[in-house]
Amino acid sequence: MSVTAPAGFEAAGVVAGLKSTGKPDVAVVVNRGPRKIGAAVFTSNRAKANPIIWSQQVIADRVVEAVVLNSGGANCFTGSFGFQTTHQTAEKAAELLGVSAGDVLVCSTGLIGTGDDVFRAKVLDGTAQAIAALSADGGDLAAQAIMTTDTVAKTAVVSRDGWSIGGMAKGAGMLAPGLATMLVVITTDADLEALEADSALRAATGRTFDRLDSDGCMSTNDQVTLLANGASGVKPDIEEFTAALVELSQELAVKLQGDAEGASHDITIEVRHAVSEKDAVEVGRSVARNNLFKAAIFGNDPNWGRVLAAIGTTGAQFDPYDVDVWMNGVRVCTAGGPDRPREEVDLTPRATHLLIDLRIGEATATILTNDLTHDYVHENSAYAS
């Protein structure tokens, strides 16, 4: 049920004809209250799609009634026509729901730089269809409607004593920090204040979605939204809520990693004993973005020299000649030199674990990435055709 698992939320996903597959491509998620709290984080890319520009204005007062999402077109770099399309989408939803357009978030995903009157008409018609189909069982169809190159819908639910959190996500390519190319909607029936929701969401995304770095390419349309309505009547401890939100966000992030375009290995890069968490993240990300390392993993080659070469480009504090590296449980490098034979490392499983021990501090961080494959290059060489 994903986003409709918590009480007081309805959703729908419908076929509007934006995609040639005949599958759902417009989704609506509605908060029925009693509270209408909203929080969101957006791509840090300076090149932002029209729905991002609109939604950043909507979220300013932290009141959100509904979210309208479409796949099959990013509505980015489409000029004033594109922003008008986003505005009209919010107005259409507001009219049918009896709310203010200024309380309706809009999200889009798909090909950049395309959009015409036909696209607009299909989005508006799909919005109307989805609102007519809203139900407390509509979460799964909504999750399907936001898929682009995704092969599976991605949903998660975390329940606690008397309240719950539900979420849906999409993303398979352009997965890099600044939220990765993802649309995520998270709902909760916990009773939160607006600032609590905002704080919890930023803490969760910073530790989960922002540490998914599959291919180093940042999208223009990234948005993670949290809707809270207090329908459970339970006001949780904010630390407990944040921990639950981190748990749900991590589950969705791992599902995004597992469905990355063309990937044959899901790589978990764990950095230990850094001076600071910032250093640990920087070191992990340097390896996640190193194409030589990623190509080696694709070829099942435990080339740990590429790991040291990558982390040596960072500004993190450590001695490159006092670093240990483990691959799938085998220490292949110790104190900057060879340790166990490479032949002992089995890289044939899809799940791949890289441990980098900087041996200088107490901080740790984990980055999620994938290998660089022929299939990834092929899929992205023909994305617009």
pLDDT digits (tens, 9 = 90+) for 65-106: 999 999 999 999 999 999 999 999 999 999 999 999 999 999
At 214 the pLDDT is 81
Q: What is the DSSP letter of 51?
A: H
At 174 the pLDDT is 47
Q: What is the DSSP letter of 212?
A: B
Q: What is the DSSP letter of 185?
A: E
At 243 the pLDDT is 98
| pLDDT average, residue stretch 310-329 | 97
| pLDDT average, residue stretch 259-270 | 91
Q: How far apart are CA 147 and CA 149, in angstroms?
A: 6
- Three-state DSSP class for 71? strand
Q: How far apart are CA 10 and CA 82, in angstroms?
A: 27
Percentage of the chain beyond pLDDT 90 is 83
Whether the ω angle into residue 34 lies within 30 degrees of 0, i.e. cis, is yes
Q: How far apart are CA 188 and CA 157, in angstroms?
A: 10
At 373 the pLDDT is 85
At 181 the pLDDT is 53
Domains and CATH numbers, the chain: 2-258 (3.60.70.12), 266-381 (3.10.20.340)
Q: How far apart are CA 177 and CA 71, in angstroms?
A: 21
171 pLDDT tier (thresholds 50, 70, 90): confident
- Three-state DSSP class for 299? coil
At 172 the pLDDT is 64
| pLDDT average, residue stretch 50-79 | 96
Q: Which two tokens stand for residue 80?
A: 């004033």
What's the chain's Rg over C-alpha atoms?
A: 21
| pLDDT average, residue stretch 259-281 | 94
At 315 the pLDDT is 97
Residue 18 clears pLDDT 60, i.e. is over it: yes
CB 150 within 8 A of CB 259: yes
Count of residues in the chain: 385
| pLDDT average, residue stretch 256-260 | 89
Query: Quick one: which of 328, 6, 42 has its CA closest to 157?
Result: 6
Q: Which two tokens stand for residue 319?
A: 């001695």
* Burial of residue 302, with CB atoms counted within 10 A of its CB: 0-12 exposed, 13-18 middle, 19 or more buried: buried
148 pLDDT tier (thresholds 50, 70, 90): confident
At 180 the pLDDT is 46
Q: How far apart are CA 243 and CA 158, in angstroms?
A: 11
Across the chain, mean pLDDT equals 93
Catalytic residues: 181
201 pLDDT tier (thresholds 50, 70, 90): very high
> How would DSSP label each residue in 229-291?
--TT-----HHHHHHHHHHHHHHHHHHHHHT-TT-S-EEEEEEEEESSHHHHHHHHHHHHT-H
Residue 347 clears pLDDT 80, i.e. is over it: yes
